[in-house]
Chains A and B, each alone.
Chain A
Amino acid sequence: MIIKPKKLIGLILLHTFLISVALSCICPLFWMINASFKTNEEFRNDYGLELAHEFNGDNYKRAIFDGGLGTYFLNSVFYTFITVFFIVIFSSLAAFAFSRLQFPGKNIIFFIFLTAMMIPLPAGFVPVYILLNKLHLANRIGYVMAMTNMGLSLSIYLLKTFFDQLPRDLEDAARIDGCSKLRIWWHVGMPLVAPALAVVIIVNSLTVWNEFVLASLMFTNAKLMPVQVGLMEFYNKNVIDHTLLMASLAIAALPIVTIYIIMQKHIIKGITAGAMVG
């Protein structure tokens, strides 16, 4: 294949543009990882701009065990896991009903869920926080419940539209065989919507893992803090220890980046679908 010179110049210019933007995304992250392996003396000499001499895991050890990052991390894993579990169960039950079952008020209720997705509530965390305090739920349970709510609307919408596209033959067959609705939902419905469930799980995991505002209001006890709130605390305590800070940021970023690279197709699908609703 021969490429015309004019086209070649165009391609080179295009790639220069794309590569420079891509570098602007990666370089700070790479710098962060690189600096996290340095000792503070090494860092003071080169500001983390030269490659680390060795993979020195000391900063990670200090951040996890002495700095409490380990606790924050496990808390986040806990909140994310439980919240996403509830979102998956509640939203798939509701989506199944919205798509397949009849009951009075069905369309209105679905419409309310949809509207909730579109109306911005910039200070929604204020009344939620007050409410949780009043109910004596300003704790792990309350947080998980409030976070479950944050993911519900979009998840129901995604799963409902997916259910709508599926043929009903399998469910009809199951019903004729005497399967109850609950068992049809679990044994027939859930496996069929698995691709949409993957999107729901990943997008919600990201939301919960990255949530900061409500968590920072609710958890003043360091033992309960998720990693985003913990990072702010950790930063304030170790402002001058730059390499330690970079290790703590790397720890918080690691699961997200890993999941993102493995599952990026699903994530992109979910984000696009979420935006298209509006």
Chain B
Amino acid sequence: MNDYRTKDKVINFAFVFPALLIFSIFYLYPFFYSFILSLHRSDGIFTYDFVGLAHFRDIFQDKAWWRSLYNGGYITFWALTFQNILAFSLALGVDRAIKTGKIYRVIFFILPVLSEIIIGLLMRTILLSEPGILNQWLDKIGFGFMIQDWLGKEHVLLTTSLVHCWKGFGWAFIILLAGLQTIPEQLYEAARIDGANYIQRFSKITLPLLMPVVSMVIVLTLLGTMQAFAMILALTRGSGRLTEVPVMIIYNHLRGNQVGLACAEGIILGFILVLISFSMFAFSKWVKEKS
């Protein structure tokens, strides 16, 4: 039984080969290819002219691009604060205290499972001022003063952010809950016997032990929200530039056959995201070492 004969090595490698082949064609090659494309003005099929870093220069001067980064950042701000705090409080509530936790868990996670298009189109139908389902409903239950043009100019970005949070909180909830349930019950018992109250137990046990999960949820929320696209497309179509997000610009440039430009934008966005997530990880590591 000599595992290291050449024939064995070849056979063993054959097990990985199909996966590696698909992966090389559809991940590795496109990854490097997009750097090359970004330096060319190309429609992807016929024309292919070298323009150097011109696309990158154009992007930095493109107001629409900055606006889309602002929009993405705005939605991300709400996702990081509102969505994650909501998810965290729900997870704390469902964690151990109650027996019906399972039912809540099933219900909260139903929205993340549904597709972005379904959620986007459903909320579009409900929120559009014609026929104005939400407004009708608010009127019926006596909240007439809240009636708005939800997808109108003034509110559309905030509405989009809130719909995004509404679709996503269940996901953060599930992960935070899984993190909470890894904390051993005995720690809480011991603290209770020592006379620690709820706030003390939360700040001395729950929070420090959950920190790795929390920072992971923060990073994934950041990455996920900055790349959000399909739900926003279905909900608002971009509303002019008002809810246009970076990936929407990239998508539209690709459809408009500005392939090189789309690649350059993708690289810039990817670079920003990698930078943010790495500095987040470095920061949480630093915090951990300090304490």
Which residues of A approach B to under 8 Å, CB–CB?
11, 14-15, 17-18, 21-22, 24-26, 28-29, 31-32, 44, 47-49, 89-91, 93-94, 96-98, 101-104, 106, 109, 112-113, 116, 119-131, 133-134, 145-146, 148-149, 152-153, 156, 175, 181, 185, 206, 209-210, 212-213, 217, 228, 231-232, 235, 242, 245-246, 249, 252-253, 256-257, 260-261, 264, 267-268, 271-272, 275-276, 278
Q: Complex Cα distance A272/B247, Å?
A: 26
Does B104 lie within 8 Å of A22, measured CB to CB?
A: yes
Q: Complex Cα distance A103/B263, Å?
A: 36
Does A146 lie within 8 Å of B26, measured CB to CB?
A: yes
Asked if B111 is at the interface (CB within 8 A of a chain A CB), the reply is yes
* List of B residues within 8 angstroms of A28 by Cβ: 122-123, 126
Asked if B184 is at the interface (CB within 8 A of a chain A CB), the reply is no
Chain A min CB distance to B122 (Å): 6
* List of B residues within 8 angstroms of A272 by Cβ: 174-175, 178
Interface range on chain B: under 10, 10 to 19, 20 to 34, or 35 or more? 35 or more
Asked if B274 is at the interface (CB within 8 A of a chain A CB), the reply is yes
Asked if B115 is at the interface (CB within 8 A of a chain A CB), the reply is yes
Asked if B54 is at the interface (CB within 8 A of a chain A CB), the reply is no
Candidate in B44, B110, B170, B233 with the most chain A CB atoms within 10 angstroms: B110
* List of A residues within 8 angstroms of B44 by Cβ: 129-130, 133-134
Q: Complex Cα distance A274/B123, Å?
A: 28
Does B250 lie within 8 Å of A49, measured CB to CB?
A: no
Q: Pick the contact of A102 from B12, B115, B223, B250 — CB < 8 Å?
A: B12
Q: A127-B37, A149-B27, A275-B175 are in contact. Are A209 and B247 (CB under 8 A)?
A: no
Does A31 lie within 8 Å of B126, measured CB to CB?
A: yes
Does A245 lie within 8 Å of B125, measured CB to CB?
A: yes
Q: A14-B98, A93-B19, A181-B12 are in contact. Are A120 and B171 (CB under 8 A)?
A: no
Does A256 lie within 8 Å of B123, measured CB to CB?
A: no
Q: A18-B93, A123-B265, A272-B178 are in contact. Are A49 and B136 (CB under 8 A)?
A: yes
Of B3-11, B55-63, B73-81, B148-156, which binds chain A? B3-11
Does A116 lie within 8 Å of B166, measured CB to CB?
A: no
* List of B residues within 8 angstroms of A29 by Cβ: 110, 122
Q: Complex Cα distance A26/B110, Å?
A: 9
Does B117 lie within 8 Å of A122, measured CB to CB?
A: no
Does A32 lie within 8 Å of B20, measured CB to CB?
A: no
Asked if B290 is at the interface (CB within 8 A of a chain A CB), the reply is no
* List of A residues within 8 angstroms of B116 by Cβ: 210, 212
* List of A residues within 8 angstroms of B33 by Cβ: 127, 130-131
Does B234 lie within 8 Å of A126, measured CB to CB?
A: no
* List of B residues within 8 angstroms of A122 by Cβ: 226-227, 246-247, 250, 266, 269-270, 273
Chain A min CB distance to B283 (Å): 15
Q: A91-B19, A149-B23, A256-B113 are in contact. Are A271 and B216 (CB under 8 A)?
A: no
Q: Pick the contact of B270 from A26, A89, A120, A264 — CB < 8 Å?
A: A120
Does A260 lie within 8 Å of B110, measured CB to CB?
A: yes
Residues from 140 to 184 in B contacting A, C-beta threshold 8 Å:
140, 166, 170-171, 174-175, 178
Residue of A nearest to B101 (CB): A18
Q: Pick the contact of A120 from B94, B117, B227, B230 — CB < 8 Å?
A: B227
Does B270 lie within 8 Å of A21, measured CB to CB?
A: no
18 A-B pairs with C-beta separation under 8 A: A25-B111, A93-B19, A120-B227, A120-B270, A123-B262, A125-B254, A127-B29, A130-B33, A149-B27, A181-B12, A210-B114, A228-B118, A231-B121, A232-B234, A245-B121, A253-B118, A261-B106, A267-B113
Does B230 lie within 8 Å of A260, measured CB to CB?
A: no
Q: Complex Cα distance A140/B59, Å?
A: 34
Q: Pick the contact of A126 from B178, B230, B259 — CB < 8 Å?
A: B259
Candidate in A15, A94, A133 with the most chain B CB atoms within 10 angstroms: A94
Asked if B219 is at the interface (CB within 8 A of a chain A CB), the reply is yes
* List of A residues within 8 angstroms of B107 by Cβ: 22, 25-26
Q: Complex Cα distance A113/B223, Å?
A: 19
Chain A min CB distance to B21 (Å): 9
Chain A min CB distance to B94 (Å): 7
Q: A217-B255, A272-B178 are in contact. Are A249 and B131 (CB under 8 A)?
A: no
Q: Complex Cα distance A48/B136, Å?
A: 10
Q: Complex Cα distance A126/B223, Å?
A: 18
* List of A residues within 8 angstroms of B109 by Cβ: 260, 264, 267-268
Does B108 lie within 8 Å of A21, measured CB to CB?
A: yes
Does B26 lie within 8 Å of A145, measured CB to CB?
A: yes
Q: Complex Cα distance A253/B89, Å?
A: 28
Residue of A nearest to B253 (CB): A126
Q: A122-B227, A152-B19, A278-B219 are in contact. Are A127 and B12 (CB under 8 A)?
A: no
Q: Complex Cα distance A5/B112, Å?
A: 37
Does B22 lie within 8 Å of A129, measured CB to CB?
A: no
Asked if B30 is at the interface (CB within 8 A of a chain A CB), the reply is yes
Asked if B64 is at the interface (CB within 8 A of a chain A CB), the reply is no
Residues from 1 to 49 in B contacting A, C-beta threshold 8 Å:
1, 3-4, 8-9, 11-13, 15-16, 18-20, 22-23, 25-31, 33-34, 37, 44-45
Asked if B251 is at the interface (CB within 8 A of a chain A CB), the reply is yes
Q: Pick the contact of A127 from B22, B31, B98 — CB < 8 Å?
A: B31
* List of B residues within 8 angstroms of A14 by Cβ: 93, 97-98
